[in-house]
Amino acid sequence: MEVVVSLPIVLVAAMILLTTFTAIYRQRSLTRENARVVEAMRSRFEAMRNEPFENIVRLYNADPMDDPGGPGTAPGERFPVNGVQPRPDTPDGGVGRIRLPIMNAAEEGELPVWELREDLVDAQLGFPRDIDGNGLVDEADHSFDYRILPILLEAEWQGELGPRTFRMFTVMTDFRL
């Protein structure tokens, strides 16, 4: 009788151990995913730093027509992360996205006109704010005369436990050498 009672207890204990192992495995997968995403984001920040400051916006926005090296030559706003799967609902299948203070200034129904705007409302980027050094927030396009650039990197992917997101933020400026 005791054996009959004890066996399920032992089995339950084994199941608990098994569950613990599974949870541990999943936790490690999460942290591995995080590490890969963070490393990809760091590399992306550093790649941006490797470019002339005045070209960063045109290289990493979504507009291929303003690429400094010619249309379509720039890396653009999307970037992959090795070992991490994009979400199935991501439009272009990318995991990482570079978010700049850019807005579409075109009228409805027209082709998009992307402008770097101080009057953009984006709390995560810290906007609206001045970025051309005159102390004022205006409605002009500052794609060519910005002096400081907040940048937010976002990653969305399909993780072991479901959809996940991650963000990294920095601000770049052009130090005088």
d(CA 57, CA 67): 9
CB of 101 to other proteins, least distance (A): 12
- Amino acid letter, 40: A
Nearer to other proteins, 90 or 128 (CB): 128
The residues with which 158 forms a beta bridge, in sequence order, are 85, 163
CB 160 within 8 A of CB 27: no
Interface contacts to other proteins, rule CB under 8 A: 2-3, 5-7, 9-11, 13-14, 16-18, 20-21, 23-25, 27-28, 30-32, 34-35, 38-39, 42-43, 45-47, 49-50, 52, 54, 124, 126, 129-130, 133-136, 138-145, 147-148, 150, 152, 167-173, 175-177
Residue with Cβ nearer other proteins (21 or 163): 21
- 85 and 32 Cβ atoms separated by less than 8 Å: no
Choice between 91 and 120, CB closer to other proteins? 120
Find the shortest distance in angstroms from Cβ 109 to other proteins.
21
Query: Is the CB of 47 or the CB of 62 nearer to other proteins?
Result: 47
Min. distance of Cβ 78 from other proteins in angstroms? 17
Shortest spacing between CB 88 and other proteins, in angstroms: 25
Q: Which residue has the tokens 């807005």?
A: 103
Of 83 and 163, nearer to other proteins (C-beta) is 83
Which residue in this structure is represented by tokens 């999460």? Answer: 30
Report which of 149, 171, 152, 123 is spatially closest to residue 41, judged by C-alpha positions.
152
Residues 6+ apart with CB under 8 A from 56: 48, 149, 172
